[in-house]
Structure 1
């Protein structure tokens, strides 16, 4: 599988380490009243969808960047990639 790195171009998936659901970018607020339950869900509950899914990938054998990869889990087709930092900062700016 080839992953189109937004900066470096097409890279072999073997250069990357898969972390999981891209929603991991949205950490719960540790000062919230329900923080313990929220962190329990954050750490232990994961979706495992068949179809289009946004995932976190770490470019371990390259520039050590984190990417959000939109991929079809049934066909392994990569539909798009974004630098995870840009995704996280965009969410902070929009208040999500």
Structure 2
């Protein structure tokens, strides 16, 4: 698989470190039950379709958000999350 770094261009996946989903989860409150915490830590939706994931491009230090299809594995978009190292 190849990803396009907005700073460096198209690169092999081996240059990136996958961080996981770009979707921010709502942390349970301090008084939450053990079941609520277990769900927060371990249960994730896995729908077919578009997914947003975070990747770190090691050579330039840029975090990117990649939108991809979980059905076809096609990369739909890639955008920077923060600027590259100078």
Please, what TM-score do these two structures have when normalized by structure 2? 0.70
Matched residue pairs, number? Answer: 78
* Counterpart for residue 34 of structure 1: 29
Does the alignment pair 1:13 with 2:5?
no
CA gap 1:66/1:45 in 2 versus in 1, 3 angstroms: farther
* Counterpart for residue 46 of structure 1: 44
Runs (5+) with no aligned partner, structure 2: none
- Higher alpha-carbon Rg: 2
| DSSP-derived class of the 2:76 partner | strand
Q: Is the 1:21–1:56 contact (alpha carbons within 8 Å) kept by the matching residues of 2?
A: yes
4+ runs deviating over 3 angstroms: 26-29
Q: Kindly indicate which of the two structures has a greater share of residues assigned to helix.
A: 1
Q: Kindly indicate which of the two structures has a greater share of residues assigned to strand.
A: 2
Runs (5+) with no aligned partner, structure 1: 87-96
Alignment of 1:1-96 (within 5 A): 1-23=1-23, 26=24, 34-35=29-30, 37=32, 40=37, 41=40, 43-60=41-58, 62-85=59-82
